[in-house]
Structure 1
Amino acid sequence: MKQYRVAIVEDDKDYSEFLSQCLGKYGLEKEISFSIKTYGKAESFLDDYKKACDVVFMDVELGDGFLNGMEAARKLRAVDPTVLLIFVTNMPQYAPEGYSVDALDYCLKPINYNDLSVKLDKAVRVLSQRGGIPVRIKDRNGTRIVSSSDIMYIEVMGHDLMFHTISEVITSYGGLGERENELSGNNFARCSASALVNLSYIKGLYGDEIDVGGDRIKIGRSKKKAFMEQLNTYLG
């Protein structure tokens, strides 16, 4: 059964519990599951965030805290440009501002399950199109299986291959060219002789360097033209 990771940032416990119940009901109907974490303040959510969510439900009018939902969303986008963001609000005038942080949609309070299920259909459709392929990674303890969508980049370090995922760095071995062929068609591009990056995690371009998941990686001179063509195609 497919599982999606969801964060609910909502200072009203009743709404937070109701959203959790709706997600459970939707999951039973669609035969999927949700791993849910709830937060009452934007600060605690951002402090805990490790780029390991598929969907974030963000209350715009967070009351008890330094940040409101829109400010928190801007900070979230600075570290994760791809997570799906759905605003929860009782003030529809916030909807246009939500698109400035690339919100997928917004739910107007009081939330209706049928309306919410339409938003969830949209989110699941987008996530299914992003779905990666299983990647086998051998380390000293055995064989790990991770989704390609969770790999930010792979780099060569001496005789090792370092798989930088959203949650950890896995040390393995093998050729980077083999991994490039394996991940062809899954938004990966070779930016140098020693690095293969997931284009969806690129946060910025700075001269001959790119920011991938918060790490700076050099673009090799011989790879730059082909890499930039792939990046521009990915960005549309």
Structure 2
Amino acid sequence: MIRIGIVEDDATAVERLLSHLDRFQRSSGERFHVGAFRDGADVLTDYRSDWDVLFLDVQMPRVDGMTAARRIREVDSEVIIVFVTASPHYAVSGYEVDALSYLLKPVSYTSFEHEMNRILARLQRQPRSELLFNATDGVHHRIAVDDIRYIESVRHRIDLYTLDTVFSIATTVKAMESELAGKGFLRCHSGLLVNLRHVTGVEGNDCRIRGGGTLPISRPRKREFLAALAEHVGSRGISA
């Protein structure tokens, strides 16, 4: 699944991009997880390297797209940046932040489709860590490790939760913990393995998970969990 962020203060422009993404998704067979931000300041708040692509409006009231891109590049050299602007002279500045290109407003579907094909070509050249497994329904799956939110032990199997799907696998949390070692996963409870990139906060003895819901943090694991989360955020995040 490709994770796409739209950073745009104009609601009409956002709707146009969402419509183009939906049309391209249906015609290409690709799957997108899309998030929208109203300003550059919003995308910078607690920024983590969770996005594959960012469509950045150049002119926004609090933090403009070029400033946001410079801040993002300080911690994320991989995300593909495409500027969306009504003024083509801004395109030259895009070289400073290694932007792929720019789209001129109002964005036509023809231009958007061309850009998405370029984006897909670049993403295919970037190595992605993937997990291969057979689910209990007998189907063989390949998913991006970054798309896994958390893994839960359920009797003699585990349930693997992604951004929009749950897979059941005949294995153990311990086995998955070993397979995913070094990829940002940590136990918050004896039967729960969570991807730290999807933790959005901690309240008491629970951690909030991107996509909704919370997971319990056991008392013996809380100190280790908080320390690992702080290290993870500190190494990948920036503040506005």
One fold, TM greater than 0.5? yes
Instruction: Kindly indicate whether the alpha-carbon contact (under 8 Å) linking 2:130 and 2:142 is maintained by their aligned counterparts in 1.
Output: no
Q: Which residue of 45, 49, 52 maps to 2:33?
A: 52
TM-score with structure 2 length normalisation?
0.59
Superposition RMSD on alpha carbons, in Å? 4.7
Structure 1 residues 141 and 70: alpha-carbon distance in aligned structure 2, compared to 1, 3 A threshold: same
Structure 1 residues 208 and 51: alpha-carbon distance in aligned structure 2, compared to 1, 3 A threshold: farther
Partner of 2:149: 152
Structure 1 residues 220 and 44: alpha-carbon distance in aligned structure 2, compared to 1, 3 A threshold: farther
Q: Does 1:88 align with 2:57?
A: yes
Partner of 2:218: 220
Q: Which residue of 108, 115, 125 maps to 2:94?
A: 115
Fraction of identical pairs, as percent: 21
Structure 1 residues 198 and 5: alpha-carbon distance in aligned structure 2, compared to 1, 3 A threshold: closer
Counterpart-to-counterpart distance in 1, 2:17 and 2:139: 40
Structure 1 residues 120 and 185: alpha-carbon distance in aligned structure 2, compared to 1, 3 A threshold: farther
Q: Which residue of 170, 179, 182 maps to 1:182?
A: 179
Counterpart-to-counterpart distance in 1, 2:216 and 2:11: 45
Structure 1 residues 12 and 169: alpha-carbon distance in aligned structure 2, compared to 1, 3 A threshold: closer
Structure 1 residues 98 and 218: alpha-carbon distance in aligned structure 2, compared to 1, 3 A threshold: farther
Unaligned runs of at least 5 residues, structure 1:
17-37, 59-67
Structural mapping, 1:6-155, within 5 Å:
6=4, 39-40=15-16, 52-53=33-34, 69-70=38-39, 74=42, 82-83=50-51, 85-90=54-59, 94-95=63-64, 99=68, 107=83, 109-110=87-88, 112=91, 115=94, 118-120=98-100, 128=126, 131-155=128-152
Counterpart-to-counterpart distance in 2, 1:81 and 1:198: 13
Partner of 1:163: 160
Counterpart-to-counterpart distance in 1, 2:184 and 2:160: 16
TM-score with structure 1 length normalisation?
0.60
Unaligned runs of at least 5 residues, structure 2:
22-30, 74-80, 102-118, 235-240
Structure 1 residues 75 and 9: alpha-carbon distance in aligned structure 2, compared to 1, 3 A threshold: closer
Counterpart-to-counterpart distance in 2, 1:229 and 1:39: 40
Counterpart-to-counterpart distance in 1, 2:153 and 2:230: 25
The size of the alignment, in residue pairs, is: 189
